Structure 1
């Protein structure tokens, strides 16, 4: 099981739909990931926390994975998931995640301010904490905040795609990665590509060699692209496909069984019994 939880979805906002050229380039990226051994991939749609979410439920998730990539998944065996990343700047202006979390398999936060980092590491209900590794971090990462976030079950994402871009982003990538490894003490890390095209895809050997030079042990790197990333998928799927991440329907695999669970689960709002129903039911009880 080799997992990449961050392949860029080519859309900047809900108001700007994708075109066929972008979709064809994305298919080429997915095929490149399949050729180097990846089995589970998440398409990452990044928007700002302050952006207005669509009122139409059908527009909440514009990816439409089954229709656009159904044939690709059948021919290659890839498992493709949806992910939403929120850029958090001012927490007071953001919207609630409750009405959009059920439409995506994974939720991630990308803080760009100190207040945003505090919110993401303490109380935000997310699966992943990620950063813009091409720019300077908004604040100094403290061990207390990052490890406290990991103890809550939120994993910290390392995006190696920034090391393949221009010189300034490479330089900042090295500094930021060392800061994340130091503050997390190599715990709860997930490694993703953040690929924008097929040229930014690397296999596990190349990624391990890169991160080992920056201070992450080889065994931790392999775990970050396999078992730990798989736990993130499991946690995200259970959030929307189960009751309080404890009880789910059927005996299938929650992570791998994409179609069966999604078609079987139906959320029904339970109504409270009226006073007349209560009186009727109490009247039918036999007297002892």
Structure 2
């Protein structure tokens, strides 16, 4: 399956609500991505670290009206899966509000560090799924393999949004002239090459970041872009399939499981018998070997009769 973990929500504050026109553009973008093969999409709500999150009212923590989007789109596209994501732009991690109170309200949790200190502290101390960068401007710090590699070992993925390089005239409407457009594209390629070098081509997730339907691209176009940047076919394909899927599963497990613990089953030949052990009066049950149980003796008897 193809996953797009960055479809921006039209608003970036809690005080504003999206207009009907903005919601229509968002729905058209989602439908366009779905037609290109992206069945799993995450609606991204980006805020600054100084924005006050209404922790006291849990119903208002997640402003994304995901129920409305599902009611409008899922009946027409049954295979479409929509999720929510929170991205916090971080310059000083000490100013971050307690993530434990808000992380269960979003399926994916991401940060966008603006300096090296924020990157190190976020990847070390915070329970996050994604790290994103503003690839349109030159990074103010050097990406070190030790920092990026340790984050990848923890399961944190690093995101690349290709809308910066394919926006066209709509995306660059506020830039001004063609010189700045070329500079944005140059910064994008330099930053992505630096991320590929620091990560050793591992743990990279490619998302659209599309605010318009025309900014969406299919998987083949993304593979061509990544191969141009030096990735081989298998690692380029994992950027839009396996790595994105793992980041999404990691975020979902944070909500649906206790400390990401699951029960795989009991592979031993012992069964739990609800019978009190006379030597252990305080126990409610004790383990008994399968061969000593009634079902085990019956299996042995049937085996002898067949022989």
TM-superposition CA deviations, 1:185-239 (whole Å, max 9, x none): 0011111111111111000111111111112222212111112211111110010
- Offset at residue 65 of structure 1 (A): 0.8
For the residue of structure 2 that corresponds to 1:61, the secondary structure is coil
Could you tell me which runs of 5 or more consecutive residues in structure 1 were left unpaired when the two chains were aligned: 249-284
- Offset at residue 67 of structure 1 (A): 2.2
Q: Alpha carbon RMSD of aligned pairs, Å? A: 1.4
Contact 2:11 2:17 in 1 (8 A): yes
Give, in whole Å, the separation in 2 of the partners of 1:167 and 1:43.
Answer: 29
**Structure 2 counterpart of 1:253:** none
Could you tell me which runs of 5 or more consecutive residues in structure 2 were left unpaired when the two chains were aligned: 168-180, 264-281, 283-307
Contact 1:86 1:110 in 2 (8 A): yes
Pick from 158, 174, 179 the counterpart of residue 160 of structure 2: 158
**Structure 1 counterpart of 2:4:** 4
Give, in whole Å, the separation in 2 of the partners of 1:13 and 1:167.
Answer: 30
Q: TM-score, normalised by structure 2?
A: 0.78
- Offset at residue 78 of structure 1 (A): 0.7
**Structure 1 counterpart of 2:66:** 65
Give, in whole Å, the separation in 2 of the partners of 1:231 and 1:94.
Answer: 25
- Offset at residue 247 of structure 1 (A): 3.6
- Offset at residue 26 of structure 1 (A): 0.3
- Offset at residue 120 of structure 1 (A): 1.9
Contact 2:84 2:107 in 1 (8 A): yes
For the residue of structure 2 that corresponds to 1:147, the secondary structure is helix
- Offset at residue 161 of structure 1 (A): 1.0
**Structure 1 counterpart of 2:294:** none
Contact 2:5 2:207 in 1 (8 A): yes
Contact 1:50 1:95 in 2 (8 A): no
**Structure 2 counterpart of 1:228:** 243
**Structure 2 counterpart of 1:84:** 86
1:182 and 2:197 are equivalent in the alignment: yes
Runs of 4+ in 1 over 4 A off after TM superposition: none
Pairs aligned (count): 249
- Offset at residue 71 of structure 1 (A): 3.1
- Offset at residue 82 of structure 1 (A): 0.1
Which is greater in Rg? 2
Give, in whole Å, the separation in 2 of the partners of 1:70 and 1:119.
Answer: 39
- Offset at residue 32 of structure 1 (A): 0.6
1:24 and 2:24 are equivalent in the alignment: yes
Q: TM-score, normalised by structure 1?
A: 0.83
- Offset at residue 74 of structure 1 (A): 2.6
